[in-house]
Structure 1
Amino acid sequence: MTYHPKSDFLRELTTRGFIQDCTDLQEMDDRLINGVVTGYIGFDLTATSLHIGNLVQIMLLRWLQKTGHRPITLMGGGTTKVGDPSGKDEMRKILSVDRINENAAGIRKVFSRYISYGDGPTDSPLVNNAEWLDKLHYIDFLRDIGKHFTINRLLAFDSIKSRLDREQALSFIEFNYMLLQSYDYLELHRRYGCVLQMGGSDQWGNIVSGADLIRRVEGTEAFGLTTPLVTRADGKKMGKSADGAVWLNDDMMSPYEFWQWWRNLPDADVGKFLKMFTELPVEECDRLGALDGAGINDAKIILANEVTGLLHGVDAAKTAEATARDVFEHGGTGDDLPTLTLSAEELGGGISIVQLITRSGLTKSGKEAKRLIADQGARLNDAPLSDAGLMISAADLSQPIKLSAGRKRHALVVLG
């Protein structure tokens, strides 16, 4: 028999498709009904920006707060020094402390778009696990925490077992990761009364171990909840585009490019992603997702506006939509398009169209740019481009020029 949650938080998560596994759904539901629950998600600091693959977890924290509970965004300043083996086929590169701190500064600004910080009962503290992990006395840690973990049990978890089954290297420092993440949960329980850890499905072993550690050490119940792996209808992993990751920081991906990614999703994804990444009522998400023809294109614009508005602000979403309309419907250049600015010195006697296409980010290499031109997929100011040997001079750039790769990807080139 399927359990139907009574709490607002779990009801939202259930109807929007967020729940993969939960340690005890009914008991956690009772906790949520009877008072404010503190829950957390940890984010390792492996890049200067989070990407849309992280957006599932950020929305979990947002819904937790919106339904009257307290979220904790845990910055993994300590655990990033180790590297999480979950879902990885090889050892992670060890980052320097300076780089980890730079990454922390880069991703902090995203959280404030979604979550309210402060000292109120449902305000979120922004915590870095380096606060306690950097001060650990290793022998004491092994005596007090390590005794609760058996090698047999650790080897049984998928995050470790899959690596060993494939005979891929698993360093001893990575092997410690589950202990450290479990200890994070224990520390947050002691410091903030945290009783819920959430994360992606690849974190199940780490989360269950943390809840078990709290029961063993503190003699109290703690919970874990994971989300399913989110993929697009075309099979691609969330967070990826033709050019790499879809970043959340606007200095790594412009609001227009971000908006355009959502606008170009397959039709089959619209309803599901409206439920997961916007706050529109579930019934409206289902209605929009069931449209076809011109209707589903309008639904994609709503999706792009809602998601971009949450991250970059409503004005940025409106500007992105206006730019797209200018580019696609009216043949304009679109002032908000990704822009490559060249100096007169760089131009010299001219620059090849292949270089421009590559430097503007429409292709990753000159070889790919030449193939795009040969396949008639490149356009210059909306006109088909067939000459890979074309040279662009300073005179050609007296006005901005628009480059296009296919119908949906565009960039401007201007003389600075």
Structure 2
Amino acid sequence: MEAANSIRFRNALVFLRHQLRSTYAYRPRHQQQCRTNVNTSDSPVRKNFSKDVMAKFINQGIGDMKNITQPTSGLLETLEERGFVGQFHGNRNEFIKLTNGEVIHIYAGADATASSLHIGHLMVLMPMIHCMLHGHRISLLVGIATARIGDPSGRLTERTGMKDRQLGERTFRFGTDITQQLSSLLKSAVNYARERGYEEKSIGRRHITSNLQWHRNVSIIDFMQIVGHRSRIGEMMLRKSVSERLKSEDGLSFSEFSYQLIQAMDYWHLFSNLGVRLQIGGSDQWGNITAGCDLINRMVNEAAWVDEQPTPSLIKNMAKPYGLTVPLLTTSSGEKFSKSTGAGNIWISANKTPPFSLYQFLLNRPDDIMEQWLKYFTLLPINTINEIMVEQKEHPERRPAQKKLAYEVIALIHGIPVADKCVQNTAIFFGQTDEVNGLEKREEKLKQGLTKSDIEGISARHFWEPVLASDFIGMPLEKALVASGAAPSNSQARTLLKSGAVSIGPHLRQVKLADERIILSPEDLISENILLIKVGKNKLYVMRLEDETTLEQAIAEKQDPDGAALKTKKKVEPVTRLQRRRLARNEKRASTTARKTRREESVRTFKIFEHEKRVAKDQPMGRQEFDDLVEKTLDRKEKRTWASMTPGGLEFKGMRTNKKPDEQD
């Protein structure tokens, strides 16, 4: 009986998906009249499906119905046990029964308003990972389109830069970066889950997409027909993201007011095309999530064909959308962790926050949040977390909870080898343990002296401060402390030196200021040009001492970590006539190369956009392809006649052009 119900459920889901499939996403240009009403009589899908047709749809792998696996029960209970469930939209008992018996599709989004995700995004990504490990399919949505509008949720002012004319190009570039981060994070999470005992066959499928793929094909008229007349101003005004902004001095712009409708359309598109049943977001997204659920309910209720089916109650029951919000990650002062409101710039990207810096950040979190953060950001069983907290209470000076949290998060985001490297560097630089994984003891390592590879384990080269070596070698050490950022002024630098809190050099020797000043010597450098400064117990600063010929390149590397500016060379002033002519020739060649590069980049960007537009097979022929076809089939005279004719066959006698009569096409 259960097998029969499962087959009926799958067949009905496939049927519902094809009946409600949005037709505005990919359409031929000659069919771009938007179909907004699912109650249309000329639907391309049959009103009733036979069993053979149903089986054909399933075998073709429509949406996420291919290779369905049996999910692991207890998804909602797991999320509640770890503290991820804030508010839940829908019937809780029906959702538990649904997730225990069938694989569902779940999605969460992140707007591309920055080039990287930050640690606050883990509050949404971790529940998605738990859903994936329970066998369900997940979709991560990169909000390139919505990033151009600006989400007002949780904000008292409008986002900066929303009026910048380069906004579209910037959000597209940020969306590409975030897509790569999400792909890398999911791969690392799967490997991390295998190490923690999860079976490969029980892990669900994952999918990454962008809402720019469908929003770019929807005009403002189509949007108003789809979403506008199905939304009520009263409900929109009552939502917290709107009411709080209306009370502020800056008010609320119309674009921000319409943001909830755009996100609602995202949910409708994913529901009707991929069968997404649950959206997960932060607690500040509650209004946007409920807006999407309301839109789906109204679209389904308008479909008269549901009542014509043999099992209308089954279809209506499985068409119910769900929403779930997770608590926001806040700072010690209660402020939301975000890229613009005080997150401390703790990024997931290794190019913005080194893994060692993230490790140290987690290692220094207070004791009162350890139990909850272990539940949030690790896949450790609850029993293991309880045992760690018992040890934490008995021996708080050992900080076992902080060490476990830092290791597990780095292993999840950057991989286990990187986490082992962070533990090793922490033991070397801070001496929290004598031996790590069979490596040499800290004393033996410092006796041998630190090398450049040890310093690179802390951070990449572009995080090091480049300075001119002649300005610091043979000069008082407090000058280097100020330049590295270890001290704000010379007086405070001398205070640090007098207290004995500063250690420098390959052996991390402690320096203490007495009556005479401490002079920086070449023996205090690592690999001849690296100055390592340790202040206190947990602060490290690295400086690169360059000469005049390499300083410019080092500064370019720090400003442009990707290496685009590393080709800059120091200009040599021409002296002779031959040198001047050679310099002029090189500058002309460089200018030509730069123009060619910009032209190729613009063509490449255009091709990317065109490729996304032509994903569907029914995409119409492009203009260039059409011109090529005409070029092959018509001669020049026929083309001239073709171009000069109106649809009625008449010529425009008075048309003005800049070309001569013989050159007009």
Short-chain TM bin? 0.7 to 0.9
Larger CA deviation: 17-26 vs 226-235: 226-235
Q: Which residue of 2 aligns with 1:230?
A: 329
Output the amino acid matched with 2:326: T
Aligned length: 404
Output the amino acid matched with 1:301: K
The answer to whether residue 537 in structure 2 is matched with residue 407 in structure 1 is: yes
Larger CA deviation: 189-198 vs 241-250: 241-250
> Displacement, 1:396?
4.5
The answer to whether residue 177 in structure 2 is matched with residue 106 in structure 1 is: yes
Q: Report matched runs for 1:190-269 at 5 Å.
A: 190-219=272-301, 220-231=319-330, 235=334, 237-238=336-337, 244-269=344-369
Aligned partner (choices 486, 498, 502) of residue 379 of structure 1: 502
Q: Report matched runs for 1:357-368 at 5 Å.
A: 357=481, 360=484, 366=488
Question: Within 2, Cα distance between the matches of 1:356 and 1:273?
Answer: 38
3-state SS, counterpart of residue 90 of structure 1:
coil
Q: Which residue of 2 aligns with 1:285?
A: 385
Question: Within 1, Cα distance between the matches of 2:476 and 2:157?
Answer: 40
Q: Is the 8 A contact 2:503 2:535 kept in 1?
A: no
Q: Which residue of 2 aligns with 1:349?
A: 471
Q: Which residue of 1 aligns with 2:264?
A: 182
Q: Report matched runs for 1:4-403 at 5 Å.
A: 7-24=73-90, 25-92=92-159, 93-94=161-162, 96-115=167-186, 122-219=204-301, 220-231=319-330, 235=334, 237-238=336-337, 244-290=344-390, 291-292=392-393, 293-294=395-396, 297-329=399-431, 330=442, 332=446, 335=455, 336-338=457-459, 341=464, 346-350=468-472, 356-357=480-481, 360=484, 366=488, 371=492, 374=495, 379-381=502-504, 383=510, 392=520, 396-397=524-525, 398=528, 400-403=530-533
Output the amino acid matched with 1:280: L
Question: Within 1, Cα distance between the matches of 2:396 and 2:415?
Answer: 26
Q: Is the 8 A contact 2:114 2:174 kept in 1?
A: yes
3-state SS, counterpart of residue 399 of structure 2:
helix
Q: Is the 8 A contact 1:272 1:289 kept in 2?
A: no
Q: Which digits, 9 at most, give the CA deviation of each residue in 1:82-110, with x for residues without a partner?
A: 01000111111226222112212222233
**Per the alignment, do residues 362 and 349 of structure 1 end up closer, same or farther by CA in structure 2, a change over 3 Å counting?**
closer
3-state SS, counterpart of residue 348 of structure 1:
helix
Q: Is the 8 A contact 2:336 2:342 kept in 1?
A: no
Structure 2 residue ranges without an equivalent (≥5): 1-71, 191-201, 302-318, 432-441, 547-665
Q: Is the 8 A contact 2:123 2:327 kept in 1?
A: no
Structure of higher CA gyration radius: 2
3-state SS, counterpart of residue 78 of structure 1:
helix
> Displacement, 1:372?
6.7
Output the amino acid matched with 2:471: G
Larger CA deviation: 333-342 vs 197-206: 333-342
**Per the alignment, do residues 141 and 361 of structure 1 end up closer, same or farther by CA in structure 2, a change over 3 Å counting?**
farther
Please report the TM-score for the alignment, with normalisation by the length of structure 2: 0.56
Question: Within 2, Cα distance between the matches of 1:159 and 1:315?
Answer: 42
Larger CA deviation: 81-90 vs 106-115: 106-115
Q: Is the 8 A contact 1:9 1:64 kept in 2?
A: yes
Question: Within 2, Cα distance between the matches of 1:35 and 1:310?
Answer: 28
Q: Is the 8 A contact 1:341 1:415 kept in 2?
A: no
Q: Is the 8 A contact 2:119 2:347 kept in 1?
A: yes
Bigger fraction of residues in strand:
1
Larger CA deviation: 94-103 vs 200-209: 94-103
Question: Within 2, Cα distance between the matches of 1:21 and 1:65?
Answer: 21
Output the amino acid matched with 1:302: K
Q: Which residue of 1 aligns with 2:16?
A: none
> Displacement, 1:356?
4.7
> Displacement, 1:263?
1.0
Output the amino acid matched with 1:226: T
Question: Within 2, Cα distance between the matches of 1:102 and 1:373?
Answer: 45
> Displacement, 1:225?
0.1
**Per the alignment, do residues 170 and 29 of structure 1 end up closer, same or farther by CA in structure 2, a change over 3 Å counting?**
same
Output the amino acid matched with 1:115: L
Question: Within 2, Cα distance between the matches of 1:400 and 1:209?
Answer: 55
> Displacement, 1:140?
2.2
Question: Within 2, Cα distance between the matches of 1:188 and 1:352?
Answer: 63
> Displacement, 1:44?
0.2
**Per the alignment, do residues 99 and 52 of structure 1 end up closer, same or farther by CA in structure 2, a change over 3 Å counting?**
same
Larger CA deviation: 21-30 vs 210-219: 21-30
**Per the alignment, do residues 401 and 243 of structure 1 end up closer, same or farther by CA in structure 2, a change over 3 Å counting?**
farther
**Per the alignment, do residues 359 and 235 of structure 1 end up closer, same or farther by CA in structure 2, a change over 3 Å counting?**
farther
**Per the alignment, do residues 342 and 169 of structure 1 end up closer, same or farther by CA in structure 2, a change over 3 Å counting?**
closer
**Per the alignment, do residues 349 and 228 of structure 1 end up closer, same or farther by CA in structure 2, a change over 3 Å counting?**
closer
Please report the TM-score for the alignment, with normalisation by the length of structure 1: 0.87
